[in-house]
Structure 1
Amino acid sequence: MARHDARNWHDCSKMIGLLCLVASILLQHGASGQRVKVEPEVSSYPGQTVNLRCAFTDATGIQLTMVTWIYEPKEGDRINIAVLHPSFQPNYPDSPLKGRVSFTASPPDLTTPSIQIRDVRMTDEGKYICEYATYPSGNEQGITYLVMLAKPQNSASIVTVEVGTKPVVVAKCESVDGRPAAQISWVTTANGNATTASKTGADNTVTVTSEYRMVPTAADNGKDISCVVTHRTQVKPESFPLKLAVQYAPQVTIVGYDNNWYLGRTNVILTCQATGNPVPLSVQWKTMSGEMPDTVLITGKELKVLKVDDSVNTTFVCEVKNRIGIGRDQVTVLVRGTRLPEKGATTGSIIGAIIGVIILLAVIGTAIAMYRKHRNNKLNGEGPPKYKPPPPKKTNSSANRQQNPSHPTETNNGPQQNNYHITQSAEPVTDLDAYHDDEDYDEEDREHYYSAAPSGWDDPRNNEVPPPYMSADNDPQGYHQGPNVNRGDSFVSPAMFV
């Protein structure tokens, strides 16, 4: 177990040492590389003058011996284009840039050996290296990429095609002489695919060509398609809106026959409608029998029947031509003896309309009735009482009546007439409206009325003494009105027999 742990510790120590070595190398390389300051990328257009800057930031303890600018094209070997030594004059070796490259400072300085290139060309694009020879650290360098830009000439066009079954090119888009290469895309609802190709020119520019291919149909004619070109030199993508051009033979339709051509009908018209690309040139009407009825008048795409008779009982054919081909359509006319009834509104529509009218009238009637009721209530003063009536006052006569017994009594002077009194423990409640509601009650109702009366109010037909306000012969019209009672004493109305 101890041997296994020792082996693991040994392996871990070796790994840590290796990592430390790599880190030290990277730090040394980074520290030395950071002292040569250059621009990572510089862009320019053909014909311009471009400056490539270089400087050694910290030369403490280091002796700068020499500076060399090196050009490394995309494809090719490295070439020295400018050399600076403190003991000698600047030197410009033979290169494609000789005569156009020079140090910017005069006299040049080893700490800032920047250069400029006049009349830059597309072929000058590539990698430019500012390399220092130093003592005692050796060579140190910085790299600048020169990117040459060329604004392309963009264009797009439509290719006119005919309806077919194989994919063909229907649109083209080009970005000519651009640097770097442009990006081309298509925007359309048509069902197709794009193919793109690039070609490098003599001066290192690039021409990009894109073609849109599809199987053309008549439905694709006139559809929108746009070519969109994106390039570094453009502020925004450039778009070219186009419309597909697909040629096809005429497509023909005859309209106007309603299946109700009857004998004697006049001025019925058939119209020959046609679409095609290119536009149809001619329209011709025929009949399957070969003879055109005498009552027919043809004007261009319209066939007018002045009067329907048996000769119109045939098949009419319309033929339309263009450069691509011929299109036709036909309609067979059936002449009827009598006219077909015209179709009216559907039953459902009629019922719905009636129901709607009824609902509307009901709403209007309800509104009118409510308005009239509200107005009548205001005119008649009806409604809940606006004040509370005072309670009734009890009089001494009422108190005296309560002290008398409810049965007849006999005094010393002899029998007296029976007096009938009503004993009340609460204030009376009257409902006069109830008597007015049922004026025509029968005899049976009369019996119920008397049977429901309190003691002393039984039916007078039982040979009992009637109340003092009734005559002995039960004549309801001969009764004598009782004594008047002030309204302040009681609010009970006198009894009434109907």
Structure 2
Amino acid sequence: LSASYLLWAVVLLIVKVRVEEELEAYPTESVDLRCEFIDRGGKTKLTQVSWIWEPIDGQRDNIAVYHPLYGQSFPNLEFKERVIFLHNTLENPSIRISELKMSDAGRYTCEYATYPTGNEQGTTTLIMLAKPKNSARVVTVQAGSKSVVVAQCEAVEGKPAASIKWLGSVGGNHSISSSSGPDGTVTVRSDYRLVPTPADNGREVTCLVDQRTQDQTWVYPVKLSVEYPPSVSIEGYDHNWYMGRSDAVLLCLANANPAPTTVTWTSLSGPLPDSVDVDGNKLTVRKVDDAVNTTFVCEVKNKLGATKNQITTVVIGESPGGSVQRGRGGGAVIGSLLALLLVIALVSVLLTRSRRQQRRGYPSSGDSIATGSGGSNGGDYGNKARLLFSQSGNGSGGGCDATGTLTEKHHHLHHHAPPNPADILLTAEMEEAERRKFALDDSMEDEERFDRFGAMRGGGTGMPPAYQIAHRGRVDEEEMDVYLDDDMESQRDGSVISRTAIYV
């Protein structure tokens, strides 16, 4: 501490002219250069004080002089109108410089002429700062395969020099250059480069400038401008141009920079049909007919070139309102098909049940049942019946009781035609016992049926019913009824045939 105090005392004794070591100022502003003479012993006599300016690159020159007797003097014409003394004393000859210029930067020395020690002086360095003029701009380029400058950013006439950075996601790079002015300012420029593509058009890169005189970073976004020929697409065709449809529209869409200058619609088959209207990029078919069953071509031009695209339209042979049928009628068509299938299924069920009932013993109304007499009007079945019963009684074929009973049964069946299968299904007039008589089990073998028939008669012989009847000699009316009911079998063609006759 003792050494520090001693050094500080020595400095104070040595320094007699007190000034500020360094000052910063900006153009068009003013600055005060302070100066004060320190005479601790009171033995120094001051005769005159001068301010001497020494530019960064130049020679020393007096800009202001003060003499107690001769007053103020401003020898340098560049400062004469801009410099004043703040106090009219030798002890405090501070000055003010107004309307500063960048060229005012340099060393300013406050110099005293004293007696007997000679000249005493102190020097202040004036640093002129300049806020740069920042700007950024886009450079319009054409899409290509080479790296070119697409944006520029610069900080002009700044002091000290500015720094420039870029932000962007387009994958480019940048370069920086600088140049100094005669007044000590520095201009910094930066170029942003990339290989431009149509996709880069409209994308952003941002220029960032930092400099000592700025309170914060200067930020400026730049939208890239990449020019390219048109790319063309046609929209609006829905593959539903049916005959008679109205106001079918096609749109020609183009992506281009600069904007397209012309849009032209043509047809590969010749001139555009009379039903077609064109309004810029919009083509309207007032009414669809065979004439628009063609290929439409759209051509778009800009200053870089022309591009075409085409679309083939197919006219569907539907009646007017077809779109309604395709839209609203789709569900109705499906529903109609389902209803038709349901009706077909119902009819099939009814026919199947009708055929089953016929097989169970109901002859068709057009068939006749053979008589049991020996007359010649009997059919094939009548001959088989006569053959059955001729073996019993006197063998006359017409005088036995069984034959008479069969004949009577035949007349009963002939005069009362059985109902058709539909009537049986819908009316249900038959009793359950009648249904069981006709419902023979098709799964049973013939021998099993005959055994059951014999058991039902009580004979227990297991023989076919024809033999049982023939050997008994007499068949009463009740047994013949049962025999006829169980013996006759319905065929698929609607006829009936005796199972017993088959065995005979």
TM-score (norm 2): 0.47
Q: Which one has a bigger Cα radius of gyration?
A: 2
Name whichever structure is richer in helix by fraction: 2
TM-score (norm 1): 0.48
